[in-house]
Each structure stands twice: as structure tokens, then as C-alpha cells.
């Protein structure tokens, strides 16, 4: 099993397939590198080197009770990039992984990163405040924490419905996709997942976005029930220097899984462009 060991002794699992220009995939909460299956195979077949890691506390990485915040997540990615000697890499992040990409590229990516992609991503900041009046109330995230602590297994059975838009009229749920979401979630550690709720909801990525000086593609479904578009993608697109925004009508948060034929082609066009 491929892994690196960080300075604090955490083991970070990763996949590294193929050759060519590297594309690094950053998964959402509470999932793992496996959430990128449809993208990893696609880009591997197009001649790219594809890399995806399990964030600390998630998947096959160490179930840490410390370091479950964005600065450490980004530092872990920097350690992986250095270990693999990545240059001219494209970093693609979904949801929480989009926040991880923003922080990594802004703070550690100089000389290593060619482009970045944020998909259904949490930046600039999710939680509502005086300076972010369009955000979600803290009560929403407190509710996540309560449900996680009370019955994580059931909570992870419930989340995929809005995540993939399966609660919308006329949309047929995929039992396999929902089971795979649950499987990935339950592989991780409850303490890390609990802490990560604060990381993805309360971290302010505004200055990170302003600092990024490589092209950034921002993709978002306008029916995203997990990370509402108005307070995320629409704002992020105004903060990055070289941003391109694409909105998908009616698509859910988990559109990389439900509609890979659309997302993969747009990603390929951006990466090759």
C-alpha cells in the first residue's frame, strides 16, 4: 500500500497511476480517494498521471485525533507533492477538497502547480456571519455534529440523498452509489470527521483565493443542496485572478459521480487548454 509519513507520524495513503502531466484529486468530506474512480480511470486513459490521497482521518490514512484542519491538510498535500516530486500539476478538489486545493495552491504550490479546479467547493467560507450574510447558519453545522455523534452510520445513510439529488422528483437513486458513499464514510475516523465539519464550514479561504496566480476552473451545480452556489462558486469566481466559472443547470453536489460524462470532458478541455 502506497503511503507517506508526515512530520507528526500520520500515514497518508495515496494512489499514483500512469505517467505524463500529473493530476491530483482531493476528495470531499467524509469520503476517500475512491470517490474519484470515474475521473481517475478517464484521465489515466487519456495519458495523464493520476494521483489521489485519503485525507488524514479519512479512508485508509491514519485516524488522527489531531491536525484535522485546513492548514495541516494542505501541509500533508505539500509533503505528498514533495515526495512524488510533482511539477506542472493540476489540482482538482471537490467540496472540502476544493478548500484543501485553495489553501495548498496559495500557500505551498509555487513552482509545482499549473492549474486548479474547484468543484462544488466550500470556498470562500460556508458559515453565516456579519461579513458573510449569505452563508449557512451555524445551527446547520451543529446539527451535522449532533447527528454524527449520535449515529454516524445512520447519518451516512441519509446524507447521500441530498448529496446526489436523489431527493428530487423524478430522480432515481442508485443503490450502488449510495452504498459506496456509506462505505467510504465509515472507513474513516469519527473524531477526524467531527473536526472536519468545523474545517470545511468555518475556514475562510478569501485570502487564499486572492493569492492564487494560476488559472482556476470553478464548476458548480445550481441545484447543489450541500454547498449552495450563491455563497460559494459565484463568490469565488470574483476573487481569483484567472477564474472561469461554469454552472450546470439542475445538477447536484455529487455531479462528478452522477454525471461524469459531462464533468470529465469539461475537465479535460481545461487541463489541455
Could you give the residue numbers annotated as active site? 95, 224, 253
- Judge whether 165 and 223 are in contact, CB under 8 Å: yes
Is residue 189 classed as helix, strand or coil in its secondary structure?
coil
Q: Phi/psi of residue 104, each to 5°?
A: -65, -50
Calculate ∠ Cα 204-205-207, nearest 5°. Answer: 110
The whole-angstrom separation of Cα 75 and Cα 91 is: 14
- Judge whether 120 and 94 are in contact, CB under 8 Å: yes
Q: Return the number of other C-beta atoms located less than 10 Å from residue 256's C-beta.
A: 26
- Judge whether 147 and 245 are in contact, CB under 8 Å: no
> What cell does 12 get?
497518508
> What cell does 6 get?
508526515
Amino acid at each position: 500500500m502506497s503511503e507517506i509519513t508526515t512530520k507528526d507520524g500520520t500515514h497518508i495513503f495515496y494512489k499514483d497511476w500512469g505517467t505524463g502531466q500529473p493530476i491530483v484529486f482531493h476528495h470531499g468530506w467524509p469520503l476517500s480517494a475512491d470517490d474519484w474512480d470515474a475521473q481517475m480511470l478517464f484521465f489515466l486513459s487519456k495519458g495523464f498521471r493520476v494521483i489521489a490521497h485519503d485525507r488524514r482521518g479519512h479512508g485508509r490514512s491514519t485516524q488522527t485525533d489531531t491536525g484535522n484542519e485546513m492548514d495541516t491538510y494542505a501541509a500533508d498535500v505539500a509533503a505528498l507533492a514533495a515526495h512524488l516530486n510533482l511539477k506542472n500539476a493540476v489540482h482538482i478538489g471537490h467540496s472540502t477538497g476544493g478548500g484543501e486545493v485553495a489553501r495548498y495552491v496559495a500557500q505551498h504550490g509555487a513552482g509545482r502547480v499549473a492549474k486548479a479546479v474547484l468543484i462544488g467547493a466550500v470556498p470562500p467560507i460556508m458559515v453565516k456571519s456579519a461579513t458573510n450574510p449569505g452563508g449557512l447558519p451555524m445551527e446547520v453545522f451543529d446539527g451535522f455534529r449532533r447527528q454524527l455523534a449520535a449515529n454516524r452510520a445512520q447519518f451516512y445513510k441519509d446524507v447521500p440523498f441530498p448529496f446526489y439529488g436523489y431527493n428530487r422528483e423524478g430522480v432515481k437513486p442508485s443503490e450502488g452509489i449510495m452504498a459506496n458513499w456509506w462505505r467510504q464514510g465509515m472507513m474513516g475516523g469519527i473524531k477526524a470527521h467531527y473536526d472536519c465539519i468545523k474545517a470545511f464550514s468555518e475556514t475562510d479561504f478569501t485570502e487564499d483565493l486572492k493569492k492564487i496566480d494560476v488559472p482556476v476552473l470553478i464548476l458548480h451545480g445550481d441545484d447543489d443542496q450541500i454547498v449552495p452556489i450563491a455563497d460559494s462558486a459565484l463568490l469565488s469566481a470574483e476573487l481569483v485572478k484567472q477564474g472561469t466559472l461554469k454552472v450546470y443547470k439542475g445538477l447536484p453536489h455529487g455531479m462528478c459521480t452522477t454525471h461524469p460524462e459531462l464533468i470529465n470532458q469539461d475537465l479535460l478541455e481545461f487541463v489541455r487548454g
